[in-house]
Amino acid sequence: MAAGGRLRPVAQVGHIETMTADDEASLAPVGLGPFDEEVYRTLLTCVDATPAALAERLGQPERRVDAACGRLRALGLVIRMSGRRRRYTAVDPEAALEALVRERAGELDQVRGSALALSSIFHAARRQAGGGSTVELLNGPEEQGRWFVRLQHQVRSEMMVLDRPPYVLAAVNPVEPVRLDSGVHWRAIYAPEALEIPGAMDEIGDLTRRGEQGRVLPGLPLKLAIADRRIALLPLSMDVGHAQGLVVRESTLLDALVELFEVYWARATPLGAPPVAEEAAGTVPDDDRQLVQLLAAGLTDSAIARQLGLSTRTMRRRTRRLFDELEATNRFQAGLQAARRGWL
C-alpha cells in the first residue's frame, strides 16, 4: 500500500496519464459536472488515492477534491475504502456508468410521460383565454370521447352527426335523449355497419320517437359531429386505439364540413320514418315497410334477419315476395319503387 498522501498507480512502473474530457465523450449527460469528471478520470488512472493526493495531482484545494469524491460516491462511481483516512477507488466504469444511463433514461421517460399532461394544461389555458384556435389537434381516444360528450352538452339548437363504428365511447348514447327532450334538432346519418350492432335499431327507434331524424348511407367514409354549425369534431382515423382528431371552429373548413354533411344527407335513405297516409302508402304492412327500409339501408341479409327476429331463410323468402310486389329485381329498384309509393 502506498504511503498516506501518495497516489497508488495501476502499474508499479508509474501511473497512466490522466484522460481529459477532450479525449472522450463528456459524462455530463449522466449528471457529472466538469470538475467532478476531472477528478473521476484522474482516479481511474490509479488503484486508489486520498483526496490529498488527487488534489496535489490536479493542483486544486483538497477540500474541493474531497467534496467531488463525495458526489462521485453518491453516484456510485467510486467507493470509499476501509480505514480512518479517506481513500477512494473507482468502480468499473462499464457497470457504474451503465447504471447511471438506465437511471437517467427512466427519468427522461417520466418527463416524456408528463408532456401530454403539460400540453393539455397549456392548451386549456389558451382556450380559456382566447376561445381556442381555429383547428385544435386531439390525441388519443379519451380526448375525442370527452369532446363528443362536451359538444352534446353544449349544443343549443342543432346537432349533425355522421355515425359509424368503431366507437370511442359505448355504442349507447345516454346524452342524446336528454338533449332531444330539451328541443335540440338532431340529424344523424348512419353507416349500415352501425345498424348491425345488436340493439341498434331499437335504440334508433326510441331516438326517432323523441325527435331524431335518422338516415343511412352505405359507404359512409368518416365520422363527424357538428354542433350549432359553429364547432365540429372530426376524427382523423378509424383506428380507435391510436386515434387523432380535430376540433374545428368557425372557418371555411367548418363551412365545408357542414356542406359535406348536407350532401350526404341528400344521398342517404331515411330511417324510421313515421307512418305515411294510407292513401300514399297503400295497404303495406308495417313489417314490410321496415324490411324495405333495412334493404335500402344496405344491411346484410343476416343483419336484417337479426333486427327482425327472423331466420335468414325466412327473411330472404319475405324479400323475394316483397320484390315481386314492388316489381323489382334488386334492392336498388325495390328502394326506388318503395319511395315512389311513399313507403320510405
Average the pLDDT over 98-120 and give the result.
71
Q: What is the mean pLDDT of the chain?
A: 79
Residue 164, CB half-sphere, CA atoms under 13 Å: how many? Answer: 19
| Residue from 279, 277, 313, 307 nearest 292 by CA | 307
User: For position 13, what pLDDT does the model report?
Assistant: 33
pLDDT per position as a tens digit, 210-250:
999 999 888 899 999 999 999 999 998 877 777 789 999 98
Q: Provide the grid cell at 23.
A: 479525449
Nearest to 147 by CA among 41, 30, 274, 247: 247
β-strands 88-90, 269-271: how paired? unpaired
158 bridge partner residues: 185
pLDDT at 189 over 90: yes
Tens digits of residue pLDDT in 25-57: 788 887 788 898 899 898 888 888 899 999 998
Which domains, ranges and CATH numbers included, belong to the chain?
A: 26-132 (1.10.10.10), 135-270 (3.30.870.10), 286-341 (1.10.10.10)
Helix (H) or strand (E) holding 57: helix 51-58
Strands 213-216 and 185-190, how do they pair? parallel
Which cell is 28 given? 455530463
Q: By three-state DSSP, how is residue 139 classified?
A: strand
Q: Say how far apart CA 328 and CA 206 lie, in whole Å.
A: 31
Give Cα 109 to chain centroid, integer Å. 19
In order, the DSSP letters of 197-253 are: STTHHHHHHHHHHHT-EEEE-TT----EEEETTTEEEEE--S-GGG-EEEEEESSHH
DSSP-derived secondary structure letter, 184: -
d(CA 222, CA 238): 8
Q: How far apart are CA 333 and CA 289, in angstroms?
A: 15
Q: Is the pTM of this model over 0.85?
A: no
Amino acid sitting at position 14:
G
